Amino acid sequence: MSKKTYLQALNEALRQEMERDEKVFIIGEDVGQFGGCFGVTQGLFDTFGEGRVMDTPITESAIVGTAAGAAASGLRPVAELMFVDFIGVSMDQLFNQAAKMRFMFGGKATVPMTLRMPQGAGIGAAAQHSQSLEAWFMHVPGLKVAIPSTPYDAKGMLISAIRDENPVVFLEHKLLYGVDGDVPDESYTVELGKADIKREGTDVTIVATSLMVHTALAAAEKLQADGISAEVVDPRCLQPLDKETILGSVKKTNALVVAHEAVGFAGPGAEIAAMVAEEALDYLDAPIKRVAAPFCPVPFSPPLEQAYIPNEDDIVAAVKSIR
Amino acid sequence: MSPDKKMMVSMYETMNRIRLFETKLQEFFAAGRIPGFVHLYLGEEAVATGACAGLTNQDKITSTHRGHGHLLAKGGDLKLMMAEIFGRKDGYCKGKGGSMHIADFDLGILGANGIVGGGGPLALGAALANKYEKTDAVVICFFGDGASNQGTTQESLNMASAWKLPLVFVNENNGYGISCPQCKSMAVTDIADRAAAYDMPGVVVDGNDVLAVHEAVSEAVKRARKGEGPSLVECKTYRWRGHFEGDACTYRCDEELKEWMAKDPIPRFEEKLVESGVLKKKDLKEIKARIEKEVGEAVEFAEQSPLPEASALMDDVYA
Ligand SMILES: Cc1ncc(C[n+]2csc(CCOP(=O)(O)OP(=O)(O)O)c2C)c(N)n1
Ligand SMILES: [Mg+2]
């Protein structure tokens, strides 16, 4: 066990899986010598060579499709898009091809591919480089959606994603890359579809994802000072979604706030809120609140961008409106 | 078609405007005064300048992530651009777009673009509108060597040709898409060769020779205006800076950069201007000084413009 950043944890997961299984390879733009747009694949080219760390042309459709086709042919590709926003260029290969092959072909295909994509605002990258699009993917049967918030989860979940027999969309937050935490040096897995209670509490459940987990934890500290004990639940995976852990927490606290950086309308929080309403309404003694980005594209100018990103005060206010 | 004296002078001004504007941005970025990403056009000034010279405001362009040069060459306002890049309220897009998303529809600038290959299909639409409305306006689609590999670009080349749209594809081949050299991303040496696959003219020009670029593009523009369809002009050039400001540029060597800097398009054009008697050496100096002042005023304008208020966040999501 040692301190590692989220980025180092991902890098280590890739390295260890590539060492373990020769079928695992990396494909994407500038993932080779350059080490990836944010540096996640740094050093892997030197170890594994261009035969296993492949720089592609700028051609997202072909990157995702190549990964899907190679996966269906027995390999275990880990594809990288520089920004989740570029999935628009390649969506067909992901949602019509990779996601549906197994079902359409009556179970004949397995598509064990991982598609890593950084998302999120906060670096002034504007409307086409800052989105949080997890809702797009969790809506597509056949895809798994991993969205880790800590270095520990990042490593264990990436290893699980690579070993998974299904296409896994793996969403990293750009502002998490530099965050550090304890990460075992050896290989380990974190089950996809298992939530984690990041902080225990008794008065309200805050379900938060990705960077918002950290925002929620900061909010929970503030709330504690005001005598409100918040439990922070990180689903870690949106598909499959660990209903049991979320429902268990809500049944204990009797109140729910969902926080994410994606746009609120039809965002992941809508599904979580609906699920809780359907399955645990009787346990709630206050309305469900959502904290999310407003229904607009991500703006460039820093004061606008800051107004766009949900912050801990927004979470505190949401909790206080029901507690 | 060689440009007249007035156009030559205007081209010289434009190249210097781009050079000085980008140089200022380089300084400001290093000083931490510009948020987000900045992709500079330094070294490639001749391409946008040569391509846009002679276009009218009815003619349109689609641009890229490396768009400042295109916008300035199409008449973009220095002050509004600078303010936008600074994220200010008085910028072209009220601070919502930034460097990668500047547009001026009155000038026919359909926008810089954060998506590589995003401009091609939009250019198709603009060219279709010209044909639909029976105007003789044309559209120029700027795209990089990297962008030439996107499906969207190839789809656009095909459809433009099949529909004989008034469109000129101006490829800026600076040899790299971020760290990826051209030889690793495509098997052809000349991107212009791909034009043959779509049965349109494809030519290669020295992208650091503004007159050569202008000649080739205006030939293609003439063709497009006459309804004879699209062309592809590949301009070989080089970016002096990293892909974005802050890129350590470990993937290319200093000699290569030096070689290309020796082909600086501005002194090369100056030589021709002086030789042909269009401008005297002292005129060159005067022009540079005047533009330096313009850029300084743009900076002042940007600095004095307020940051946008949070209340503007939800404006302009819908018409
Ligand atoms: C769809 C998409 N993929 C990838 C990127 C990231 N990206 C931005 S610029 C760039 C390189 C573009 O190369 P080229 O088209 O040659 O233009 P240049 O930067 O050389 O001017 C890349 C890969 C992007 N913005 N959009
Ligand atoms: Mg290029």
Question: In chain A, what percentage of residues exceed pLDDT 90?
Answer: 100
CATH number at residue B23: 3.40.50.970
CATH number at residue A23: 3.40.50.970
**Rounded average pLDDT over B102-125:** 98
Position B318 in a domain: no
**Rounded average pLDDT over B4-32:** 98
Which residues form the domain of A107? 2-183
Position B56 in a domain: yes
**A249-260 tens-digit pLDDT:** 999 999 999 999
Position B273 in a domain: yes
**Rounded average pLDDT over A138-143:** 98
Name the closest ligand to CA B43.
Answer: 1
Q: Which of A153, A183, A213 is the last residue of a domain?
A: A183
Q: Look-up: residue for tokens 């593009």?
A: B217
A40/A177 same-domain check: yes
How far does the CA of residue A312 sit from the closest CA of chain B (Å)?
17
Do A86 and B115 lie within an 8 Å CB cutoff?
A: yes
Position A190 in a domain: no
Cα–Cα nearest to A126, from A262, A298, A307: A298
In chain B, what residues touch A126 (CB-CB under 8 Å)?
Answer: 36, 96-98, 100-101, 114
A203/A164 same-domain check: no
Position A203 in a domain: yes
The single-letter code of the amino acid at A11 is: N
Do A303 and B146 lie within an 8 Å CB cutoff?
A: no
Atom 19 of ligand 1, nearest CA residue: B177
A11/A150 same-domain check: yes
Position A191 in a domain: no
| Nearest ligand 1 atom, CA B65 | 9
A170/A225 same-domain check: no
Position A46 in a domain: yes
Of A129, A173, A214, A260, the active-site residue reads A129
A200/A177 same-domain check: no
A246/A134 same-domain check: no
Position B98 in a domain: yes
Residue of B nearest to A298 (CA): B96
φ and ψ of A109, to 5 deg: -100, 145
A247/A127 same-domain check: no
Cis-peptide into A240, omega within 30 deg = yes
pLDDT of residue B2: 83
The single-letter code of the amino acid at B100 is: M
pLDDT confidence tier of residue A1, bands split at 50, 70 and 90 = confident
Query: Can you give the C-alpha Rg of chain B in angstroms?
Result: 19
CB pairs under 8 A between A and B: 123
Q: Which of A156, A183, A210 is the last residue of a domain?
A: A183
Number of Cβ within a 10 Å radius of residue A165: 12
CATH number at residue A233: 3.40.50.920
A172/A285 same-domain check: no
In chain B, what residues touch A59 (CB-CB under 8 Å)?
Answer: 149-151
DSSP B106-164: GGTB----SSTT-HHHHHHHHHHHHHHTT----EEEEEETTGGGSHHHHHHHHHHHHTT
Say how many domains are in chain B.
Answer: 1
Residues sharing a CB contact under 8 Å with residue A267, sequence separation 6 or more, in sequence order: A135, A260, A290, A292, A293
Query: How far apart are the CA of B98 and the centre of ligand 2, in A?
Result: 21
In chain A, what residues touch B117 (CB-CB under 8 Å)?
Answer: 58, 89
Position A24 in a domain: yes
Position B316 in a domain: no
Position B211 in a domain: yes
**Rounded average pLDDT over A42-70:** 98
Atom 4 of ligand 1, nearest CA residue: B116
Q: What is the mean pLDDT of chain B?
A: 97
Beta strands in A103-228 (DSSP E): 114-119, 144-146, 168-173, 180-183, 196-199, 204-208
Q: What's the ipTM?
A: 0.96
Q: What is the rounded distance in angstroms from the CA atom of residue A104 to the CA atom of residue B180?
A: 37
Position B130 pLDDT exceeds 90: yes
Position A94 in a domain: yes
Q: Which of A123, A157, A183 is the last residue of a domain?
A: A183
Name the closest ligand to CA A129.
Answer: 1
Do B150 and A59 lie within an 8 Å CB cutoff?
A: yes
A53/A97 same-domain check: yes
Do A300 and B116 lie within an 8 Å CB cutoff?
A: no
Q: What is the rounded distance in angstroms from the CA atom of residue B46 to the CA atom of residue B269?
A: 9
How far does the CA of residue A264 sit from the closest CA of chain B (Å)?
14
Say how many domains are in chain A.
Answer: 2
A148/A287 same-domain check: no
Which residues form the domain of B113? 5-305
Position A189 in a domain: no
**B62-97 tens-digit pLDDT:** 999 999 999 999 999 999 999 999 999 999 999 999
Position A6 in a domain: yes
**B36-54 tens-digit pLDDT:** 999 999 999 999 999 999 9
Query: Is residue A173 flagged as an active site residue?
Result: no
In chain A, what residues touch B100 (CB-CB under 8 Å)?
Answer: 126, 128-129
A222/A289 same-domain check: yes
Cα–Cα nearest to A130, from A304, A14, A317, A315: A304
pLDDT of residue B1: 60
